[in-house]
Structure 1
């Protein structure tokens, strides 16, 4: 089959690789009908995630049709159309039993986080879904059947960015009357803005430095927009215009945001896991007693983390990989009723064999790229 593979830093190639097979009794194999490039895939491309072997198959936002199931798979059969959430989770450990699927104790022998499809040996070594076929471990737990009347593009983002954006609002405590600042206008940030309104927010502010993404946020999400390059201190500016800061900050940027010269050097020397610029803004823009939710991916440790600022202002920090599996059924109902529609963020539709170009558009923010969907 054809698949997008990691060949080294900033080197992605579409190659012929072996088709996946049933390896365990509760595996399934899915014939992929649509897959997407995620912002966190860029962390792999940039070499920010360790233990990425050459020829590793990328991708964790995938859907398709069941091609084959193992003898212990009870919930699916050949021909079922499914989305596959990105966490690999056993379904029976303590964490899975408490809906913390991204912290599964049995799916990743290499760390505290549970397994993730297509995300390096560090996260379990599971081949990803930017391919013609995908092996799905623990198939009784993750996949969700989707109705035929909904198009692939309507449900594809249930695999990751829809639940991640929703969860960011939930852990941030967004409710009726909340004021919310969303840091980042990439795919997750744009969806987090939609969910903030849906959950009753009174005011939503979006921050980025890429004008076409800010324009998209303003046009489709009706938010206030701030270009942080236009302000000497964006965090203090937000604190000023909101008369003390917003109730909730949702950081959808993570470690791959715009870096200072020092952060470039420290990251290259593995002294720091990327930028901390969004965290700095959050520490200044959140109101006293407010909450900062970190859903952008971070790694390693961070120099000059503003712990004292958070402590002195009584800030609650919440963070982690979204346990997406816990929210897909609920959000599918929102899609069915039209309460949420994520399709406006799709700017590029390409064939899988054009995936290298898709990564280039997305990484370098060319051609006003926001979200790339690939079709095998």
Structure 2
């Protein structure tokens, strides 16, 4: 079968690989009808997430049809349309029973955190979903059946980014009337904005610098801030009467960039600090990578988030930070009595609820999906997505006919 395969930092290829097979009674084989490229996939390609093994199939978002099931899978049938939660969970261990699916002890017995498809060695590892077929372990828990009224285009966004954006809003403890800021207007940030609205936020600010992403945020009703033209901390304080924002969602993570111009332009001292962070977090990176240049600022969003937060506010972090990242402005956060929550999304917990919102027409997630293409164009799609070309907010891949 065809699959997008990691060969090394900056080197991914569309290869012919062996088709997957049942390895456990709780496995299922799914024929992928849609997969997607996520910002997290770019971490592996750029080298900001270490430990990737050459030969790993990339991708952790998928929708498809069940082709084969193991004898232990009793709630699915061959032919069922399903969405695949991107994090892998057994449903049996103490973490899964507490709905902390992203910390499943059986899926990742290494004890190093989340197991997900197409990730580095410390996450399992498991082959990914940017392929024609995939083996799904613990399929009785790891597959959610789709109603006929939900399309593949809608369902693919339930595999990861919609639940992650919603999870970020829940971590930030958004309630009726709250003033909220979302840093990063990529796909997860857009769903964090949509989720904040759904949870009753009174005002929502959105911080980014990509015009198409800011325009999409504004179309959702957010008040936008371009960090290359304004100092986001100063603007947020001004627009909140000096108090700062109640709730904050970091939907950027380690790939934050320095401000290049305007009042927020990064100082030489800050550049030096950020360069030291890059050397620690990602000593080996793709030399052709778009984002990994001297203007990269791994802890920038964390600094802005804490500085612009109101006293007693809360911060939800769903932007990806690798385990080597160690910088956080703890002193300011502590002295403001901030609540900070973070982590990888427990997708299996939220997908059924969000599926109901989509099926009932409350939220149509396809407004975020901006590019579609066959699997054979995956490599070019990765390049365009990495360059953050206008309009490339989210990318769906379909197997070639």
Scaled to the shorter chain, the TM-score interval is over 0.9
Task: Tell me the distance in 2 between the aligned counterparts of 1:34 and 1:271.
Answer: 32
2:112 — aligned with what? 112
Matched, 1:165 2:165: yes
- CA separation of 1:272 and 1:9: change in aligned 2, threshold 3 A: closer
Q: 1:150-299 counterparts in 2 under 5 A?
A: 150-219=150-219, 221-231=220-230, 233-243=231-241, 244-259=243-258, 261-262=271-272, 265-271=275-281, 275-299=298-322
> For 1:240-288, what per-residue CA distance to the aligned partner results, in whole angstroms no more than 9, with x for missing partners?
2112111100000001121574366435533579701110110111110
Is the contact made by 1:161 and 1:188 (CA closer than 8 Å) also made in structure 2?
Answer: yes
Misfit runs of 4+, over 4 Å: 271-274, 301-304
2:336 — aligned with what? 313
Shift of 1:111: 3.6
Shift of 1:110: 3.1
Is the contact made by 1:6 and 1:12 (CA closer than 8 Å) also made in structure 2?
Answer: yes
Shift of 1:295: 0.5
Match of 1:341 among 358, 364, 367: 364
Is the contact made by 1:235 and 1:283 (CA closer than 8 Å) also made in structure 2?
Answer: no
Is the contact made by 1:84 and 1:144 (CA closer than 8 Å) also made in structure 2?
Answer: yes
Is the contact made by 2:19 and 2:133 (CA closer than 8 Å) also made in structure 1?
Answer: yes
> For 1:209-264, what per-residue CA distance to the aligned partner results, in whole angstroms no more than 9, with x for missing partners?
11121012112x11100001112x32232122112111100000001121574366
Matched residues, number:
374
Specify every segment of 5 or more residues in structure 1 that has no aligned partner in the other structure, as ranges. Answer: none
1:371 — aligned with what? 394
Task: Tell me the distance in 1 between the aligned counterparts of 2:70 and 2:188.
Answer: 34
Task: Tell me the distance in 2 between the aligned counterparts of 1:298 and 1:74.
Answer: 37
Q: TM-score, normalised by structure 1?
A: 0.96
- CA separation of 1:229 and 1:144: change in aligned 2, threshold 3 A: same
Is the contact made by 1:185 and 1:208 (CA closer than 8 Å) also made in structure 2?
Answer: yes
> For 1:78-117, what per-residue CA distance to the aligned partner results, in whole angstroms no more than 9, with x for missing partners?
1010001011111111100000000111111334313111
Specify every segment of 5 or more residues in structure 2 that has no aligned partner in the other structure, as ranges. Answer: 259-269, 284-296
Task: Tell me the distance in 2 between the aligned counterparts of 1:302 and 1:189.
Answer: 21
Task: Tell me the distance in 1 between the aligned counterparts of 2:110 and 2:184.
Answer: 30
Is the contact made by 2:105 and 2:111 (CA closer than 8 Å) also made in structure 1?
Answer: no
Task: Tell me the distance in 2 between the aligned counterparts of 1:300 and 1:129.
Answer: 24
Is the contact made by 1:348 and 1:371 (CA closer than 8 Å) also made in structure 2?
Answer: yes
Shift of 1:155: 1.5
Q: TM-score, normalised by structure 2?
A: 0.90
> For 1:298-325, what per-residue CA distance to the aligned partner results, in whole angstroms no more than 9, with x for missing partners?
1134465210000000000000001010
Matched, 1:328 2:338: no
Taking only aligned residues, the RMSD between alpha carbons, in angstroms, comes to 1.6
Deviates more, 1:318-327 or 1:141-150: 141-150
Task: Tell me the distance in 2 between the aligned counterparts of 1:34 and 1:355.
Answer: 12
Deviates more, 1:258-267 or 1:143-152: 258-267
Is the contact made by 1:158 and 1:332 (CA closer than 8 Å) also made in structure 2?
Answer: yes
Is the contact made by 2:84 and 2:142 (CA closer than 8 Å) also made in structure 1?
Answer: yes
